[in-house]
Amino acid sequence: MSVQARARIVATRDGGLPVLESAGPLALRRTRADGAHTRVTVVGAMSAPLGGDRLAIEAQVREGARLYVDSAAATVALPGRAPEPAVYEITLDVADDAEVRWLPEPLISARGSELRMRTSVRLAPTARLVLREEQILGRHGEETGSLTSRLTVLRAGRPLLDQELAYGPAAPEGWDGPAVLGGHRAVGQLLIVDPEFEKHPARTRQFGTSAVLTPLAGPAVLVTAVAPDALALRRILDTALSAGSDSGNG
């Protein structure tokens, strides 16, 4: 039987979490604070998402709040009995002078699975965001499942970023070609939004041969990377996070 579950987070300026609602396989736990940020860890309570599942996490970060969200382990998309694809939706609503650091562990697309991942972010004009996405195409020694990932970001009600990526058997032909992944099996991106970029614009920068930091048309930078495995990908994105944060601070 397919699972439908929606977990919710509300964070406030004083470090409070007036809403911290777990649901189904999405168990939310308040964990030790990371500096000034209130920290929430997503703990998988069961195997998910499976085919046909519809999972969602909603986070509302109120004015002046600081929220850090991570996960206890990688999320593994698995085939299920239902023929429909699984759907996993993340919605972040970030108020003025608030900040979200959304840094989960990777998503692994197992052979035979089909997942549609959607992340929607709404930022107030002075909100800040650090968002990392990492996708591992197949477990060790196996082919990838089908994965479609869409990221949409609005800032002050205007589009900042809207992109969709697709991999695996259900993706358009050429997804694994030299112009896209070139045989790599780990792909990721890092988005940093900070009003400080308006004062200190970032410059395009390359990290090795498989990652690049690109300024967006707004106070933001986007890092895109491919790598042979999850460890190499994380190292690249960690380096890029340091570089991007330093750019925003001048």
* pLDDT digits 0-9 by tens, 183-209: 899 999 999 999 999 998 889 999 988
Instruction: Give the residue from 76, 172, 83, 178 showing the smallest Cα distance to 117.
Output: 76
Looking at every residue in the chain, the average pLDDT score rounds to: 92
Mapped onto helix, strand or coil, the DSSP state of residue 231 is helix
Q: Determine phi and psi for 131, rounding to 5 degrees.
A: -130, 125
Chain mean position to CA 90: 8
Q: What is the CA radius of gyration of the chain?
A: 18
- Percentage of the chain beyond pLDDT 90 is 77
Look at 35 and 211; give whichever has higher pLDDT: 211
pLDDT of 240 > 70? The answer is yes
* Residue that is written with structure tokens 């259900």 in the block: 170
* pLDDT digits 0-9 by tens, 148-173: 999 999 999 999 999 999 999 999 88
- Percentage of the chain beyond pLDDT 70 is 96
Q: Would you place residue 249 in the very low, low, confident or very high pLDDT band (cuts 50, 70, 90)?
A: low
pTM as predicted: 0.93
**Exposure b/e, 168-193, CB count within 10 A at least 16 = b:** beebeeebbeeebbeebbbbbbbbbb
Q: Would you place residue 174 in the very low, low, confident or very high pLDDT band (cuts 50, 70, 90)?
A: confident
DSSP state of 249: T
Distances (CA, A) of 57 to 88, 103, 107, 162, 215: 8, 14, 15, 19, 28
Instruction: Give the residue from 102, 106, 103, 104 showing the smallest Cα distance to 121.
Output: 102
Residue 156: per-residue pLDDT:
96
* pLDDT digits 0-9 by tens, 16-55: 999 999 999 999 999 998 788 999 999 976 667 888 999 9
Cα–Cα distance for residue pair 78/144, rounded to 1 Å: 11
Mean pLDDT of 125-136: 97
